[in-house]
Structure 1
Amino acid sequence: MQGWTRKNGHVVAELSQQEAAVIRGLVGQIKDMLTARAAEAPQDELAELTGIRTGPTAPPEDRVLARLLPDFYRHDPTTGETDEEQAGAAGAMRSLHEPGLLEAKTGVAELVLETCPPAGGRVRLTGDQADSWLAALNDVRLALGTALDVEEDMPEDLPEDDLRREHLGVYQWLTWVQDSLVNALIG
């Protein structure tokens, strides 16, 4: 991949078969995780009557999924203090808003899977499609960064015996792909 460019109102890139496979594979995994979480939503008769969807009140136990679906209130990990005003409000907020968040995240993942050619080749995106790609790439990077314990002060090149070494290269490449897409959109 040479990077994203702007041509005739579209954002364009050429992906090799391997690059397309990496993007499709990782985005597909994120979509599967989010779809499984959506299936955990409680069946609520009142919600079915009113059309108001509800989701789980507890955050995901999986730390990668928890990173993609964070709490709606901030918690200080050191002191345990929160900006939550009433006990249980975090669960109520999650129940109300997580279904929409899941729908948005799976929607952008589906768009990437639809527009990324399985065998590689040209990707030609409208501005809205490019925004969806940015959101999906961000989700993949958040998930991969969480799984790899990526930190700000982490060296760019890990020792040969570090099992995260190969995956860190994928994380760094996705960072470059996302940055190239942002630059094409604003340039």
Structure 2
Amino acid sequence: MRAFKRRRGMYAARLDTDERDVIAALVADVAELLGAGRLETRDPQAVVAGDGSPRMRIEPLPPPSDPAVRRLLPDASRDDPEIAEEFRRLTEDDLRAGKIERLTRLWDALTTPVEGWRADAFVVAPQDAQDVAAAITDLRLVLAERLGIRTDEQAERLYDALLDAPQAEVEQADEILDPAARRYLVAVYGALSWLQESLVDLMLHDLRAPGRPADQ
């Protein structure tokens, strides 16, 4: 895996086949958690976010039962259940659709070769970078929930445990994941965090210097 760099007017990282497959599978899993069908088998002509017609949900919508989905679709208010319920009723369908659409675009970018670029290039147009970064955030939120990560300090402790004793049991936050699965998820979480940081750094640099040439 290589960090994002400016290349030919685009943001380009490098992912080998295994890295690409791992991230694409995670993207498909998170999209499915949000209510999408499996991205691998979807109709390519289908409109993921709906037909664009306005909708108004009438009935109340309960919070998601899966804690990971609740991290993606949090309550608008922790103190007022009525406000949280009403906000969820009015906004959750559109929020889900927007997240699924961004994840679908990310999955397509990971699984579709870009003409004129090397096979391991993961290419993001500057105008799409914000959506890609947002989709990666959703992947990291789901992994963080599965790993019991709430703070940067907890993430750092998991990284340290992985580096210091890769074959030892990583600190358990629950009894659902076995040590090997936790090590795997920690490694993926760390890689996604690093990849996203390199993309966001480029975005921020371009915001500070809008006249800077796109190529280095």
TM range (shorter): 0.7 to 0.9
Q: Counterpart in 2 of 1:111?
A: 105
Q: Aligned with 1:145: secondary structure?
A: helix
Deviations 1:92-123 (CA, angstroms, capped at 9, x unpaired): 21011001100110011011011113686222
Instruction: Name the counterpart of 2:72.
Output: 68
In 1: Cα distance, 2:138 partner to 2:54 partner = 28
In the other structure, the counterpart of 1:135 is: 134
Q: Is the 8 A contact 1:117 1:123 kept in 2?
A: no
2: CA distance, partners of 1:36 / 1:113? 13
Q: Does 1:183 align with 2:177?
A: no
Q: Is the 8 A contact 1:53 1:99 kept in 2?
A: no
Q: 2:185 aligns with which of 143, 150, 167?
A: 167
Aligned equivalents of 2:160, 2:123: Cα separation in 1: 33
SS for the counterpart of 1:150 is: coil
Over residues 28-62 of structure 1, what are the superposed CA-to-partner deviations in whole Å (9 max), with x where a residue is unaligned?
1110111259xxxxxxxxxxxx9423275211011
Q: Distance in 2 between matches of 1:183 and 1:89?
A: 36
- Specify which of 83, 88, 93 is matched with residue 87 of structure 2: 93
Distance 1:31 1:56 in 2: 23
> Using the alignment, how far apart are the partners of 1:142 and 1:111 within structure 2?
18
Summarize the Cα distance change of 1:161–1:63 in structure 2 as closer, same or farther, 3 Å threshold. same
- Cα pair distance change 1:2/1:51, threshold 3 Å: closer
Question: How many pairs align?
Answer: 165
Compute the TM-score of the two structures, normalised by the length of structure 1.
0.79
1:11-33 Cα offsets, whole Å, 9 max, x none, are 11121001111110111111011
Q: List gaps (5 residues or longer) in structure 1.
A: 38-49, 76-81
C-alpha distance in structure 2 between counterparts of 1:67 and 1:98, whole Å: 13
Instruction: Report if aligned partners of 2:68, 2:145 keep a CA contact under 8 Å in 1.
Output: yes
Alpha-carbon distance in structure 1 between the residues aligned to 2:193 and 2:122: 18
Partner letter of residue 167 of structure 1?
A: L
Residue identity in the other structure for 2:139: V
Deviation of residue 161 (structure 1)? 1.8
Alignment RMSD: 2.2
What residue ranges of structure 2 are gaps of 5+ in the alignment? Answer: 38-52, 114-118, 171-178, 206-216
CA distance in 2, matches of 1:145, 1:64: 8
Counterpart code for 2:169 = D
CA contact (8 A) 2:34 2:96 kept: yes
CA distance in structure 2 between the aligned counterparts of 1:19 and 1:130, rounded to whole angstroms: 19
Is the 1:26–1:140 contact (alpha carbons within 8 Å) kept by the matching residues of 2?
yes
